[in-house]
């Protein structure tokens, strides 16, 4: 074996560059993060040939003092941390102090900066084998400019791994998108091959933030998203949550930021998937732009060289907070919250943000768990005329204005006047017809509403069954012959340790040996399920995540099937009052925008869209 030698400065920097500098996008990310940490209010980025030939970043931040310029390209030199306590609560985007040194080792880098408004600055670049810094005077306004030319010119093997110019630029643009989404107070501009790509002004107000999100994520996203903003202790989650019906075939419109840092985290991804699972069509992905704020000491950002991943010190607490917040926000979405086509901004349930006070699901009408025979009926109009609730009378009055010839008589509406204004029209309007026994056609103040009556009633029935089941709680049934299972010793230990939690879920499991479990009782609704597989999955979840929702998921699947069979079928003729009753139920039922399988239950066509079909106004 050869003798141990100390590596040269350039070689050690190039080894570090293997972790930090993967492609031009990595260079842009490091440079922009340094500028943001310097308090920049505007960032101008100019690139050529996808960033391989040239990357130029200019900011108006605090600048660098002349004496500190040699340290900017030295390894592990930084102004952002000084001791271990700083590392345990990092509040800046960059802190390792090796980015510029690594970049300068695989490119021709020059940095020019001025720390005052005199217009005089200094420029630094590294030369020679030992990368000695050379400083010369240069004219420059307050701030810093970094120019990176000929990336990987001295490491041809690395350059061969670069993709086409278009691909490299798309990665670079994505980096700027993420930083622009996480720093609304900063203006960004991007030029590629002398062509302007983005020119984003600082966005202070909510309307300006909506416009920036629309510019970066597309206007369709902002039209199909709602704002969320909720806080619990030191945890705050805010941003834009895409409607379940605005799903994607790929997870390409998912932006999550922790204290302003764009991250991809397993805890976050799992919480989001769990929140959408009851409304998302299989194989689809949610769209969102969300921001989590917490104490910097509650998150470790030093677990990955590129800082794409983080580790939460209380991951269970963060997961539960994310899941509850998103799950509740999705459940509270009603037709009144849905965005109307063509408008900019976000329609919220209440002024000033998303309403976090839930509208409760429709009650189960006195049913107990297991008594579902009446769920297929619409009860709202079964009462005699004199006992109908006020909302029924209002529905019939409004209906009379739409259909004076075929409307119920004034007596059936308690004799009230049939007058209403556009503001009194409910979000889904009033039924005007039934199409082929499948769809309900309704008119609201925006235009035409088309409702899939089976899908809508299926969701209403499903939510009522869940409410009824939750009120009844979990009931267990003893097995005539207890089921013996061979498991690992670790799973047996967990089953014994979490015995009380398992009993709350309806399972009575007894340990009979080092690697043997005996299932004595199980939830009554799951008596026909594959008990052994369910218990194994349950224990696997508890071992991996510390908890499990397998039981709830299995019961919900069963209730979903029962709701499907108990809902109105196609080709069933509904009366207009029954159709209106279904529309009113949809407006107060959680998750009514999607059926149990994730399909949309209704669609809106505006008058403008209808006019366009028939060339009206041309």
Domain boundaries, the chain: 9-200, 206-337, 360-618
Question: What's residue 25's pLDDT?
Answer: 95
Question: What's residue 9's pLDDT?
Answer: 77
Same fold flag, 206-337 and 360-618 = no
Percent of the chain with pLDDT over 90: 40
Query: What CATH architecture does domain 360-618 belong to?
Result: 2-Layer Sandwich (3.30)
State pLDDT tens for residues 128-137. 556 778 899 9
Alpha helices by DSSP H, 3-122? 9-20, 24-37, 69-72, 84-87, 99-105
What ranges make up the beta strands (E) of 106-193?
Answer: 108-114, 120-127, 132-139, 143-149, 187-192
pLDDT confidence bin for 414, thresholds 50/70/90:
very low
- Nearest alpha-carbon partner for 454 in 373, 567, 557: 567
* β partners of residue 196: 191
Residues across the chain: 618
| Fold type of domain 206-337 | Ribosomal Protein S5; domain 2 (3.30.230)
Residue 32: CB atoms within 10 Å: 26
| Global pTM exceeds 0.75 | no
Question: What's residue 525's pLDDT?
Answer: 67
Residue of 432 and 385 predicted with greater confidence: 432
Alpha-carbon distance of 518 to 509, in angstroms, equals: 6
State pLDDT tens for residues 45-85. 999 999 999 999 999 999 999 988 888 888 777 777 767 67
User: 346: exposed, middle or buried (C-beta count within 10 Å: 0-12, 13-18, 19+)?
Assistant: buried
Residue 330: CB atoms within 10 Å: 24
Mean pLDDT for the stretch of residues 398-412: 40
> Is residue 422 scored above 70 in pLDDT?
no
Beta strand pairing status for 42-48 and 187-192? parallel
9-200 to CATH, choices 3.40.190.10, 3.40.50.720, 3.30.300.210, 3.30.565.10: 3.30.565.10
What ranges make up the beta strands (E) of 487-584?
Answer: 508-513, 516-523
Question: What's residue 388's pLDDT?
Answer: 40
Q: Supply the angle between the helices 315-331 and 266-276 in degrees, to the nearest 10.
A: 30
Sheet arrangement for strand 476-486: 476-486, 516-523, 508-513
> Is residue 374 scored above 70 in pLDDT?
no
Alpha-carbon distance of 448 to 614, in angstroms, equals: 15
- Nearest alpha-carbon partner for 460 in 332, 329, 364: 364
> Is residue 572 scored above 60 in pLDDT?
yes
Q: How many Cα atoms sit within 13 Å of 358 on the Cβ side?
A: 15
- CB 272, CB 288: distance < 8 Å: yes
User: 509: exposed, middle or buried (C-beta count within 10 Å: 0-12, 13-18, 19+)?
Assistant: buried
What ranges make up the beta strands (E) of 514-613?
Answer: 516-523, 602-606
Name the DSSP letter for residue 178. Answer: H
For 290, left (φ over 0), alpha (ψ -120 to 50), or beta?
A: beta
User: 205: exposed, middle or buried (C-beta count within 10 Å: 0-12, 13-18, 19+)?
Assistant: exposed
Question: What's residue 544's pLDDT?
Answer: 63
State pLDDT tens for residues 99-119. 888 888 889 999 999 999 999
> Is residue 396 scored above 70 in pLDDT?
no
- Nearest alpha-carbon partner for 155 in 109, 85, 82, 106: 106
Q: Supply the angle between the helices 576-588 and 453-472 in degrees, to the nearest 10.
A: 50
- CB 328, CB 338: distance < 8 Å: no
Mean pLDDT for the stretch of residues 227-241: 94
Mean pLDDT for the stretch of residues 281-289: 88
What ranges make up the beta strands (E) of 301-428?
Answer: 311-312
Alpha-carbon distance of 77 to 100, in angstroms, equals: 10
pLDDT confidence bin for 416, thresholds 50/70/90:
very low
Question: What's residue 423's pLDDT?
Answer: 53
């Amino acid at each position: 074996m050869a003798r141990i030698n100390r590596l040269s400065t350039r070689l050690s920097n190039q080894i570090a560059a293997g972790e930090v500098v993967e492609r031009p996008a990595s260079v842009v990310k490091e440079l922009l993060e340094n500028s943001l940490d310097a308090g920049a209010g505007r960032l101008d980025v100019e690139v050529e040939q996808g960033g391989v030939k040239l990357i130029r970043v200019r900011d108006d931040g605090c600048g660098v003092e002349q004496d500190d310029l040699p340290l900017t390209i030295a390894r592990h030199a930084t102004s952002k941390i000084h001791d271990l306590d700083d590392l345990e609560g990092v509040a800046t985007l960059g802190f390792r102090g090796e980015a510029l040194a690594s970049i300068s080792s695989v490119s021709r880098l020059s940095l020019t900066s001025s720390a005052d408004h005199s217009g005089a600055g200094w420029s630094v670049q590294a030369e020679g084998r030992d990368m000695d810094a050379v400083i010369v005077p240069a004219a420059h306004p307050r701030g810093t400019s970094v120019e990176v030319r000929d990336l990987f010119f001295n490491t041809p093997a690395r350059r061969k791994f670069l993709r086409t110019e278009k691909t490299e630029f798309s990665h670079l643009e994505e980096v700027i998108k993420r930083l622009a989404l996480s720093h609304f107070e900063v203006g960004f501009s991007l030029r590629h091959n002398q062509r302007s790509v983005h020119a984003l002004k600082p966005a202070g107000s909510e309307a300006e933030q909506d416009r920036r999100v629309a510019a970066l994520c597309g206007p369709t996203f902002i039209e199909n998203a709602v704002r969320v903003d909720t806080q619990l202790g030191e945890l705050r989650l805010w941003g834009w949550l895409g409607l379940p019906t605005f799903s994607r075939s790929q997870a390409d419109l998912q932006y999550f930021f922790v204290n302003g840092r764009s991250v991809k985290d397993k805890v976050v991804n799992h919480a989001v998937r769990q929140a959408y699972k009851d409304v998302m069509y299989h194989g689809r992905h949610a769209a969102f732009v969300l921001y989590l704020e917490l104490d910097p000491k509650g998150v470790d950002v030093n677990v990955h060289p590129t800082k794409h991943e983080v580790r939460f010190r209380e991951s269970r607490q963060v997961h539960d907070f994310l899941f509850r917040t998103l799950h509740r926000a999705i459940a509270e979405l009603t037709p009144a919250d849905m965005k109307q086509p063509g408008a900019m901004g976000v329609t919220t349930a209440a002024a000033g943000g998303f309403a976090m006070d839930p509208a409760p699901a429709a009650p189960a009408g006195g049913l107990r768990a297991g008594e579902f025979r009446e769920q297929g009926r619409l009860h709202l109009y079964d009462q005699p005329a004199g006992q109908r609730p006020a909302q029924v009378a209002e529905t019939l009055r409004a209906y009379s204005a739409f259909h004076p010839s075929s409307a119920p008589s004034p007596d059936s509406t308690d004799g009230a006047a049939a007058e209403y204004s556009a503001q009194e029209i409910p979000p889904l309007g009033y039924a005007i017809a039934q199409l082929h026994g499948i769809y309900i056609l309704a008119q609201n103040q925006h235009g035409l509403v088309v409702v899939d009556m089976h899908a809508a009633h299926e969701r209403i029935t499903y939510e009522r069954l869940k409410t009824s089941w939750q009120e009844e709680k979990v009931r267990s049934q003893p097995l005539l012959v207890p089921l013996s299972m061979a498991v690992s010793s670790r799973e047996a230990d967990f089953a014994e340790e979490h015995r009380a939690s398992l009993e709350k879920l309806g399972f009575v499991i007894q340990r009979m040996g080092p690697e043997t479990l005996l299932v004595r009782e199980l939830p009554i609704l799951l008596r026909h399920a594959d008990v052994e597989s369910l218990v194994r999955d349950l224990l696997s979840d508890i071992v991996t995540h510390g908890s499990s929702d397998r039981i709830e998921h299995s019961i919900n699947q069963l209730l979903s099937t029962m709701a499907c069979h108990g809902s109105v079928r196609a080709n069933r003729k509904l009366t207009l009052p029954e159709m209106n009753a279904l529309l009113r139920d949809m407006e107060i039922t959680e998750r009514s925008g999607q059926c149990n399988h994730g399909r949309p239950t209704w669609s809106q066509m505006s008058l403008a869209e209808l006019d366009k079909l028939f060339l009206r106004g041309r």
